[in-house]
Amino acid sequence: MVRTIVASLSRPVDIASLVFARVAFGLLMLWEVWRYFKYDRIYRYWIEPDFHFTYPGFDWLSPLSGDGMYWLFIGLGVLSILIILGFFYRIAATLFFIAFTYTFLLEQGRYLNHFYLVCLLSFLLIFLPAHRSTSLDTWFGFTKKSDTTPAWSLWILQFQMAVVYFFGGIAKIDKDWLAGQPLRDWLGGCSNYPIIGKYMTSEPVVHSLAWGGMLFDLLIPFLLLWKRTRMVAFLAAVGFHVANMVLWNIGIFPWLAIAMTALFFDPSWPRKFFRLPLFGTSFPPSGYAKKTVVASLVAAYCFAQIVIPLRHHFIPGDVSWTEDGHRFSWRMKLRSRDGKTDFHVVEKKTGRVEKVDPRDHLERWQVGKMDTNPDMMLQFARKLEREYKQANRGEIAVHARSAVSVNGRPEQDYFPLSVDLTEVSRMTPRFTWLNEFDDAPNFGLEQSLVLD
């Protein structure tokens, strides 16, 4: 059986779809870089803030000084062009992955699922022979030309996209989502749309979109794999992503998803559609040992992509409340969280209590993210601890009154006021210091919670 699987993954298929993936990815990344310059996001997200919320294990990362971040994004643009052209492809793909992932890891407050997807796809492209056709690398003889590629190189991209869809659907098997929350609130912002706006908040539409979105995500990978339903499924995917693009501001994700979804068609479809030239050579065969190593690495990657989105099921507490396991799990457009946090610094030596407004230390967009993220609250508490020590204010404790609303529920106290955030490790399980979540679906009820 192992030999059969290895042989199946290693069989040669048309390289045209892989070339399409390379060019489409490069074009979309070039567009994304342009968007960052156009909307001045480089300054806003990486230069203007005095403090950045890093991911666990990456506290040592910091933005480049001076104009370094601008030059980094110029470099990302150049690397995108090199990927499109297939010129010094392996080097370009590797550097793009490192540079983009670096920007991703600099700031938790900027987490988006499609940025995470870009990190994964750019990592995979390093190892895929996407430059063996229609590239400057073959033109200049840097690599051998080929009109075929091992099946695994396309299959792993299909698998990655299937994971995004399927686990997005798994996440929507949720009582809030199936009850229409938070979709109902989001659709309220579309009520001014011509013709369709007045219908957007009707209960039949809300429930149809909620259940339809869940079923679409769950079924679309399987419908794309079956030849008889592939075209209908692809057109449905195009409609789904275009609708999302119209309704929500989600950047390049709809176009990236459409491009990656097209890889489910016969590998030769771009050659027929774009009339790519044939080179008449095949991908050089490799020995069984090498094929087995490749198959093992592919299996390990796929295993990780399955386990990571499921990890929150093994962590106590409701993920919509604790955020433990929410990220990197394709829980997309799934919940709405609002919060308000007041921090209180207690000087242990004098007992003096000082109220701290986070907006005096952070950018507004960072505050909005931190108010509903316990890990970011811990980082901010540690930041205050460092600042007070530098100011010779002595040892301090940081307490906070945080009220959070999930999917329109009344606000709830996130954790006891007695908790000293400076004594809580980022590795401490959140269910041990956060209050228990009251998940009764009493959406829309008014409740005031006074913050002392």
Contact 107, 52 (CB under 8 A): yes
- Domains of the chain, by residue range, sit at 2-276+288-313, 336-432
**Total-model pTM:** 0.92
Full pLDDT tens readout for the chain, 452 residues = 767 777 777 899 999 999 999 999 999 999 999 999 999 999 999 999 999 999 999 999 999 999 999 999 999 999 999 999 999 999 999 999 999 999 999 999 999 999 999 999 999 999 999 999 999 999 999 999 999 999 999 999 999 999 999 999 999 999 999 999 888 888 877 777 776 777 777 888 889 999 999 999 999 999 999 999 999 999 999 999 998 888 887 889 999 999 999 999 999 999 888 776 554 455 555 666 678 888 889 999 999 999 999 999 999 999 999 999 999 999 988 888 999 999 999 998 888 999 999 999 999 999 999 999 999 999 999 999 999 999 888 899 999 999 999 998 999 999 999 999 999 999 999 999 999 998 776 655 433 333 33
CB atoms within 10 A of CB 102: 15
Residue 253 Cα distances to 48, 156, 183, angstroms:
26, 19, 19
CA proximity to 133, closest of 216, 293, 16: 16
Q: Which secondary-structure segment (H or E) carries 403?
A: strand 396-406
- The DSSP code for 326 is T
275 in the Ramachandran plot: left (φ > 0), alpha (ψ -120 to 50) or beta?
left
SS3 at position 358: helix
* Structure tokens, 103: 């920007």
Q: Which secondary-structure segment (H or E) carries 31?
A: helix 16-38
Single-letter code of the amino acid located at 171:
A
CA-CA distance, 366 to 325, in Å (whole number)?
Answer: 20
